[in-house]
Structure 1
Amino acid sequence: MSIGEERESSDNRFEWIAEPEEAGERIDKFLTEVLEEEVSRTQVQQWVKDGHVTVNGKTVKPNYKLSDGDTVVLMMPEPEELELAPEAIPIEVVYEDSDVIVVNKPRGMVVHPAPGHPGGTLVNALLYHCKDLSGINGIMRPGIVHRIDKDTSGLLMAAKNDLAHNSLAEQLKAHTVNRKYLALVHGNVPHDNGTVDAPIGRDPKDRKLYTVTERNSKHAVTHFAVIERFKDYTLLELKLETGRTHQIRVHMKFIGHPLVGDPVYGPSKSRGVHMEGQALHAAVLGFEHPRTGESLQFEAPMPEDMVNVLEVLKTR
């Protein structure tokens, strides 16, 4: 099934048409792979059992096997009402007004609560600091317009009200937000600059991972420029044109230059260079203020752990 075969008619209703290659695939496995959210197969199976999933208008069991042309409809149930607790977690505020807050997220901090991370997140810290965040993304992700991975450091913006949220989300959709990253990658990148234009989707071998694939994928573009070359490593500046999950990490692996310290997409050993998490930092964030229209741009210096690794490389 290509992404063009997905039909979405409301915020919680999703529809797909199964293609020939899906024939014989279990409905729970199919839905786990095509859903964009981080949803477990166990959760999908429960939705099927509870009647939230129909095939050709009829409820089915989790082990139902698809046929070519089946119409699959998921009525996503509303999330449980969970109360998020504000937590007095220190955060580095780069900019703040009544509409927007920009923070420099440290490596190791999860952006919003999720299974396995019920607290200690940036959202918990923001709720304590701001008191007012937009509610568009629901109770678990108030104010969150975009995300960066737990082990990626750097700039992230959040909305304090729905007007700001809608404006920032539209700017992201229109690719007008300026997002630049610094990354240390394995190998000597031969070109001074270039573009990786390769679609990204879930890895069919492991649904928790992403990969370059034509199947169930979305358009993804990353521009890169070499800042400095070392013997076995290269420091890059990367500019996102799109914002897919794990985009930079997947694209760098795809071109044969995975990020140093990446526990998922990188090599198991880094030949003496050690990082706790991938060497990726969201260094520049620019956008139009949602109320005033003013052009804003912010920069965050490279974190100490990346600086230390570069200093080691310069002495080799």
Structure 2
Amino acid sequence: MMATLDSDPCLHLFEHPICDTALPERFTFVFYYEPHPLCVRAAEQLQTQYLSAPNWVHNFGLTGQLDGAIGKMFGVLLVRDKHGQIGFLAGFSGKLANCNHLDGFVPPVFDLLDENSFFLQSQLYINRLNTQLEQLQNDPKLSALREQLQRVEQQSEQEIAAHKALMAKDKQQRKIQRLDANGLEPEAQRELTRQLDQRSISQKLKLRDLKLNWQQQIEHISSQLQILEQAVTQLQQQRKTESAALQQKIFEQYQFLNRDQQLKSLAEIFSPLDNPTPPAGAGECAAPKLLHYAFKQGMTPLALAEFWWGASPKSEVRQHKNYYPACMSKCQPILSHMLSGIAVDPNPLIVNTAKGKPLPIVYQDEEMVVVNKPAEFLSVPGKTITDSVQTRIAQLFPQASGPLIVHRLDMSTSGLMVIALNKRAHQRLQRQFIERTVKKRYVALLDGSLAVQQGEISLPLRVDLADRPRQLVCTEHGKHALTYFEVIGIEKGLTRVHLYPHTGRTHQLRVHCAHHLGLNSPIKGDDLYGKKALRLHLHAEQLVLKHPLNGIELTFCVEAEF
């Protein structure tokens, strides 16, 4: 068992003295951080004593049994308790081993699974509504009436259309008969006209009766069907109302403390936002659980780190034991409230990492410019940082017109970018990228050794709406993404590869390398899909395209600095 203080079963003591490590001066900026050394020690202690040989059963997928495997995000919170002792709290996101409560881990902010909770009672009621709804929707009479109505409507349309066609044909015949009657005696003409008019009236009356008969049949079936469908609609509306009320009640029950002991519910926290409805799972992540428990017990939070344990999810890229920031959509609003008034590390995401870096020009003429973009350098201005390739080129070439930027590189990716200096060049260059006639080659260093020497990766991608700018592999909503690769060599356990993107999706190369269905080897230094390093080892080293004015094929190549 992990050493704990008798006063609090969730507060863990370090196995070894920590006096050799300085405490953090400020709390972690949880959305982008390097874990504090004491958080690393806490995480390793948790992994060794609790996760490597747990006394509960949960399939993390670490034994090769991936069917039903669920990796988990865990968190450690370095704290000072009311007595001044330094320790740490441990927590997990969501449920673990189908439980909300496990010894040694902080409890949830609100326990949906508590047997006395309104949630279970409400869920039972909603489940009964679902059962009733399913029975009604699967009622054979309902489907039989729908089929009968469809069949009768089709027969009605066919018979009415056939009679109208007959009337049209007879009208033509009557017209001919009237023309032929010009040679008859007046009395005979009048009699023929009377007979023809009577025939026309008879056919119109028959059409009226035909329509009326079918209308009565359709209305009779529709009225029976409407009774059943109204019952379905009423149940659906009742279920919707009950579900919405339950959801709102849940939002109000999730209440989070901050340092000043101020409570705010999920409903209050999200109400001022553009989307006031909290996303699914909000409040169940490890970070808010840990902070809430610390504040509730009068502890002072000092630093936080969250790590992934187990196999990666099918759509996401999560590496076993890697540290990850808190998610933006679910946690950012909650943690903004919880960390109010606490001194936090500066946000590195608003630091201009391009400051002082030159933007080397590889080629230029009156139509276009090719630059070698450094790593950690924006292609276009961001929300808080304006320094970028676009702004630098606009300054260097004040006579340039048009959008300038033809294509982009990720901020962390270095390499070749082509910029148009006028609208005509921009249109012609951009068309080449749209039509995929531009040949692009990237070089990358991957963490690990690849067993295959070349091949292709086809994994559709979309943005992770809950954690932008991360991308997900998604067969349902993702966009087609195709990458060719070839191994160049192995260097000290790292694999150098050439990557040839056929499509240009956001983070395509990074996800295709890191995902377990891709190369399963993240690019070295990838802070989103692998492990952070001094830089992302991904470089756009070659571009082959046609000059926008004369159409001559141009090849540009700049070797990577790694």
What is the TM-score when the length of structure 1 is the normalising length?
0.63
Deviation at 1:126, TM superposition (A): 0.5
Please list the CA deviations of residues 25-83 of structure 1 after superposition, one character each: whole Å capped at 9, or x if unmatched: 9xxxxxxxxxxxxxxx99x93xxxxxxxxxxxxxxx865x9xxxxxxxxxxxxxxxxxx
Equivalences for 1:132-151 in 2 at 5 Å? 132-135=399-402, 142-151=403-412
**2:525 is aligned with 1:257:** no
Q: CA deviation at 1:196?
A: 0.4
Residue 226 of structure 1 corresponds to which residue in structure 2? 487
- The residue correspondences of 1:202-281 to structure 2 (distance < 5 A) are 202-254=463-515, 255=518, 256-267=520-531, 275-281=533-539
Following the alignment from structure 1 to structure 2, what is the Cα–Cα distance between the partners of residues 106 and 149?
A: 11
Instruction: Report how far residue 231 of structure 1 moved.
Output: 4.6
Give yes or no for contact 2:357–2:374 (8 Å, CA) kept in 1: no
Q: CA RMSD in A?
A: 2.9
Deviation at 1:205, TM superposition (A): 4.0
1:98 and 2:366 are equivalent in the alignment: yes
Q: SS where residue 409 of structure 2 aligns?
A: coil
- Paired residue secondary structure (2:469): strand
Aligned length: 218
SS at match of 2:385: coil
One-letter amino acid of the counterpart of residue 238, structure 1 = L
User: Which residue, out of 185, 192, 208, partners 2:453?
Assistant: 192
Please give the alpha-carbon distance, in whole angstroms, between the structure 1 residues aligned to 2:488 and 2:463: 31
Work out the CA distance in 2 between the residues paired with 1:132 and 1:245.
Answer: 31
Question: Could you report, residue by residue, the CA deviation over 1:151-182 in whole angstroms, capped at 9, with x for unpaired residues?
Answer: 21110001111111111111111111111001
- Match of residue 139 from structure 1: none
Residue 145 of structure 1: how far off its partner (Å)? 1.1
- Secondary structure of the structure 2 residue equivalent to 1:168: helix
Measure how far apart 1:116 and its partner are. Answer: 2.0
Partner of 1:110: 378
Structure-2 residue corresponding to 1:34? none
Deviation of the 1:214 alpha carbon: 1.8
Work out whether 1:295 is the aligned partner of 2:295: no
> TM-score of the superposition, structure 2-length normalised?
0.36
Which amino acid is the alignment partner of residue 166 of structure 1?
Q
What does residue 183 of structure 1 align with?
444
Structure 2 vs 1, CA of residues 204 and 159 (structure 1 numbering), >3 Å: closer, same or farther?
A: same
Change (3 A) 1:266 1:162: same
* Distance 1:197-1:288 versus aligned 2 partners, 3 A rule: same
Name whichever of 213-222 and 202-211 sits farther off: 202-211
**Which structure shows the higher helix fraction?**
2
Separation of aligned partners in 1, 2:493 and 2:500 = 23
Instruction: For 1:266, give the aligned amino acid.
Output: G
Q: Which has the larger radius of gyration?
A: 2
- Given that 1:199 and 1:220 are in contact with CA atoms closer than 8 Å, whether structure 2 keeps it comes out as yes
Q: What is residue 168 of structure 1 aligned with on the other side?
A: 429
* Offset at residue 89 of structure 1 (A): 7.0
CA contact (8 A) 1:226 1:236 kept: yes
Q: Distance in 2 between matches of 1:252 and 1:181?
A: 12
Letter of the 2:370 counterpart: V
Asked if 1:155 is matched to 2:416, the reply is yes
Distance in 1, matches of 2:356 and 2:497, equals 35
Letter in 1 for 2:396: H
Show structure 2 runs of 5+ residues with no match.
1-239, 245-269, 280-354
Quick check: 1:129 aligned with 2:396? yes
Contact 1:134 1:165 in 2 (8 A): no
State, as a whole percentage, how many aligned pairs show the same letter.
34
Off by >6 Å, runs of 4+ in structure 1: none
Q: Which amino acid aligns with 2:469?
A: K
